[in-house]
Amino acid sequence: MINQTRGFFDQMTMWLYPAERVFARFTRWCAATPARALHGQDAGALWRELTSDADREPIAVTTAEFGKAELTGWHLRSLGFPPDPGPGHSAWLTFADAVKRARDGDGSGFAEVIVGNMRVWAMPGVLAMTCADGRGYSGYAHMRQVGRQARKAGPNLGTVFFSGLGCTGWPLPVANPPRPLPVRGLPPVLGAGSTWGDQVWTESFTAMIPGSVTVAYDGPGHALYLMGKKCPVRYATVYLTDLTLPAPGTVCPAE
């Protein structure tokens, strides 16, 4: 959950810190896993070299659904890395293989997911939901400023956020701009978030409301209740039925 009181770009930059920790976890996994494509190499250095080179000379790809496209380092940093390793680290195995192939000029391992996601986030229906929250850049200088902050926070994954670019030129006024939340008299809330990602967003919200608690889920995931993660669901059920919050600092192990 993105905390609208802080603004979209503030929240996305904040998310880069846990994202970078997950990327470091990936590089350590690479070093310890002989079966993967980048074993014996510095996976982080290879990724930074790949994205830097792709910014200078985009990688030409052809997708089955969307036809021809070009992948820059911006595309790769924005959507290339899967934060969830998947069952048996299958997603990270696929990612490592895609990096190795892209380094040799074959970007097909990234093409479908990146081009497909870019198309989805450019759909008018999606933009109508996001641009009304003030997720667009106010101008070129603002975009450059956000990009610099993102790269400082995330040397491997930080870049100009693509979803903000989609709102450039949006013709309607912002209906829900970031603004302070009046918290006086609000009851405590219970939040839950992944230490691999969105816990920082959740905590930035719950910290504003006295007595609130955020349960940390120590594993990958998003929308934990909808994912059916048993430990967070249990705490949520107790709070919804008995109004009993867990102790501050409660951590759920990964399932």
pLDDT tens, position by position, for the chain (255 residues)? 678 888 889 999 999 999 999 999 999 999 888 866 887 889 999 999 999 999 999 999 988 888 889 999 999 999 899 999 999 999 999 999 999 999 999 999 999 889 888 887 778 888 888 888 888 898 899 999 999 999 999 999 999 988 788 888 888 888 888 999 999 999 999 999 999 999 999 999 999 999 999 999 999 998 899 999 999 999 999 999 999 999 999 999 998
The number of residues making up the chain comes to 255
Tell me the CA end-to-end span of the chain in Å, nearest whole number. 21
Q: Are 154 and 20 in contact (CB under 8 A)?
A: yes
The 10 Å Cβ neighbour count of residue 93 is 18
CA distance 130 to 121: 9
Residue with tokens 């229906």: 125
CA distance 195 to 215: 10
pLDDT at 152 (0 to 100): 95
